[in-house]
Structure 1
Amino acid sequence: MQDYKNKPVLVAGASGFVGSHIARQLAEQGRQVRVLVRKTSKIAALEGLPVEIHYGDVLEPDTIRAAMDGCGSVFYSVLDPRFWLTDTSILYRNNVDGLVNAMDVALELGVERFVFTSTMGTLGINPDGPVTEDIPFNWLDRAPAYIRARREAELQLLKYAREKGLPGVALCIANTYGPEDYQPTPHGAMLWDVARGKSKHYIETGAPTVDIRDAAQACLLAEEKGRIGERYIIANEFVSNRDFYAMAAAETGQEPPKGISIKLAYAVAWVAERVLKLMGKKDFLLRTDAVYLSNVFREMDHGKASRELGWEPRPLRETVRDAIAWYAEQERKAGS
């Protein structure tokens, strides 16, 4: 066993969807797992796991240091996903400054592995075929502040690996689905709403997907096999919303929802943005950026992750089935 696996391992952002699954799989391997979460975080996803909880904030380096001290590896899954914020400086502070703080502490303490859960949003766009890690980021002029912040975070990770010797690896993760989605994530909630007949419409777009359990497994594989200073696409099947939600509806015998054209969705969002701004509203979800992001990503090639990490994701239909079964069980428990 590698030396770092004999030491405690820290999962920062373990209350989230990806982070909690990383902590779960590490615990299943018998590792000494520490988690760093805020005191205000909901930690239902960690209940029952044999983990050592450290309360802190990535904007407070002393709390990072206390949690990370003695650890061989760090899995960094801290994320502020609020793309709708009017004050976008918050996104940079939480998504970029927090990561820089953690990397500085990791270098100070001699951490041997640093796995960063990035996003497919940092990848370039390829109109002629599947996206790979080698395609340069080519849509900065259209990228909203959230994507710019996530891209800057990944660039900092790669810079630290290249110039400061941080043993860092970045994973560009697609939209995650699956069980133990306690928050739930917005896209997971939409899946469940369709499955239970609550949501009757969808926008006629599509996106790459990945099972949350496979995403977490990729992180553990990256700890062991990932090349320092590299990034890996962690995306499975690209699926249209039409096919995806038809699959969800079929699981529960519901009628498939109806599609709304992307042009109509843009028009509604454009009008709504202006009306809400005139009313003095801030931080609203209905915005053109959201519509754009729902349609910008295309098929992605995870061949590098398969070749170098040995990563093989499960079929999407299995992910949808297991996710819906989990949501249904949670609803049953809540009603009993």
Structure 2
Amino acid sequence: MKVFITGGTGFIGRHLIRRMAQTDHELRCLARPSSDIAHFEELGVEIVYGDVTDKPSIVAAMQGCDWVIDLANIYEFWLPDPSLFAKVNIEGTQNLMEAALETDVMKVVHVSTALVYGKPKDTPFTEESKPGPVQFSEYARTKQKGEEFAWKLHEENDLPLVSIYPVGVLGLGDTKATSQVVRNLVQRRMPATAYNNSTVVLVHVKDVVEGIVRAIEKDGNIGERYILGKEQITLKDYYKMVCEIADVPLPFLALPGWMAMSTAHMLTALSRITKRPPWLGMNVDQMRSFKTGYLCDGSKAEKELGITYTPIRVGLEEEVMAIKQALMLQQQ
């Protein structure tokens, strides 16, 4: 099959390209002219230039493809221009899904996030749970709106859709919020922890990639949804595990929730003025997400896609080792 992939220059996308290059599928990857595409060229992947915010470029790039894997999104908890969340996560998703209908592809795997569920009544929630009334970040809110549009096209226009909902993703190459906490702990830049009793679910990037590949290749699963991730951990145990692996002391202070949130509000307000990210990534949306936490059940992917989840510790060991190696190189 000829597979059209968006978001291939991102964290999950780079791992996916390497995995898909081991198959017999032909890969066509969308990239912006400014993107680093060296890993595409090394693997012999066809590159087409365009942007999900430019629908004509998507339609042209998608011509002749059988399957689509949509990884394009903005995953941040703070941006100097917050309008970009809607531009990419909502409008970009709309453009891509409409292009998929216009080009008659056979299947679209849309990679969303478990955060679109917010805090449902079901605990742990599953793919069939009704999302809670609130999403706790602009990232999650806009991803949920893009998701709604995709499923509307599925229901009303027979878009051949499958959705993937990764939880917090660990592994080599991550530069986003999950990894930033690890880096701050390893470098001993994090003076205190917060929301230690909140529980989250984490997954290794290779398990996410395997879930995507198996979802696109599986017959008869149009209309299905798959949560990817199962292992639960409190933030306190997460911090402790990172520090144990890195052989650094755990921050002595544990901020009460009101203090953590007040600090995040102050730093976020300051960042609106400076247009620079909040100190240590401590922004309101991230603190809201930490405060709420989430519990979900990714066992459907185990049963239907044959996924075997990698222990959280393995992903953290990889991240910590990579961070330490990078720090050693900087010191040389």
Quick one: distance in 2 between partners of 1:328 and 1:11? 32
* Aligned AA (1:192): R
The superposition leaves residues 166-223 of structure 1 with CA deviations (integer Å, 9 ceiling, x where unpaired) of 1111111111110133xx2232132133234443433224421111111111111111
Q: Is the 8 A contact 1:123 1:133 kept in 2?
A: no
Kindly state the Cα deviation for residue 44 of structure 1 after the two structures are TM-superposed.
6.0
Q: Tell me what 2:257 maps to.
A: 262
> Which of 184, 192, 204 is equivalent to 1:201?
192
* Aligned AA (1:260): L
**Relative to 1, partners in 2 of residues 1:53 and 1:329: Cα closer, same or farther, differing over 3 Å?**
farther
Q: Tell me what 1:16 maps to.
A: 10
Q: Tell me what 1:191 maps to.
A: 182
**Relative to 1, partners in 2 of residues 1:335 and 1:111: Cα closer, same or farther, differing over 3 Å?**
farther
Q: Is the 8 A contact 1:157 1:170 kept in 2?
A: no
* Aligned AA (2:291): N
Equivalent residue of 2:29, what SS? strand
Quick one: distance in 2 between partners of 1:219 and 1:240? 27
TM-score by structure 1 length? 0.86
Equivalent residue of 1:154, what SS? helix
> Which of 145, 149, 156 is equivalent to 2:149?
156
- Residue correspondence of structure 1 range 86-125 to structure 2 within 5 A: 88-125=82-119
**Relative to 1, partners in 2 of residues 1:254 and 1:43: Cα closer, same or farther, differing over 3 Å?**
farther
- Residue correspondence of structure 1 range 143-182 to structure 2 within 5 A: 143-181=136-174
Task: Please say if 1:327 is aligned against 2:323.
Answer: yes
- Unaligned ranges ≥5, structure 1: 1-6
Structure 1 window deviating more from structure 2 (75-84 vs 167-176): it is: 75-84
* Aligned AA (1:311): I
Kindly state the Cα deviation for residue 127 of structure 1 after the two structures are TM-superposed.
5.8
Q: Tell me what 2:227 maps to.
A: 233
**Relative to 1, partners in 2 of residues 1:90 and 1:253: Cα closer, same or farther, differing over 3 Å?**
closer
* Aligned AA (2:152): K
Quick one: distance in 2 between partners of 1:274 and 1:320? 32
> Which of 242, 246, 252 is equivalent to 2:236?
242
Q: Is the 8 A contact 1:34 1:51 kept in 2?
A: yes
**Relative to 1, partners in 2 of residues 1:298 and 1:246: Cα closer, same or farther, differing over 3 Å?**
same
Q: Is the 8 A contact 2:137 2:288 kept in 1?
A: no
Quick one: distance in 2 between partners of 1:109 and 1:275? 46
Q: Is the 8 A contact 1:35 1:51 kept in 2?
A: yes
- Residue correspondence of structure 1 range 123-142 to structure 2 within 5 A: 123-126=117-120, 129-140=123-134
Q: CA RMSD in A?
A: 2.5
Quick one: distance in 2 between partners of 1:188 and 1:144? 18
Quick one: distance in 2 between partners of 1:236 and 1:41? 33
Q: Tell me what 1:29 maps to.
A: 23
Quick one: distance in 2 between partners of 1:231 and 1:307? 13
Equivalent residue of 1:325, what SS? helix
Q: Is the 8 A contact 1:10 1:68 kept in 2?
A: yes
Kindly state the Cα deviation for residue 301 of structure 1 after the two structures are TM-superposed.
0.6
Quick one: distance in 2 between partners of 1:161 and 1:189? 36
Kindly state the Cα deviation for residue 87 of structure 1 after the two structures are TM-superposed.
5.2
Quick one: distance in 2 between partners of 1:272 and 1:193? 17
Q: Tell me what 2:284 maps to.
A: 288
**Seq. identity, %:** 28
Q: Tell me what 1:3 maps to.
A: none
Quick one: distance in 2 between partners of 1:334 and 1:53? 33
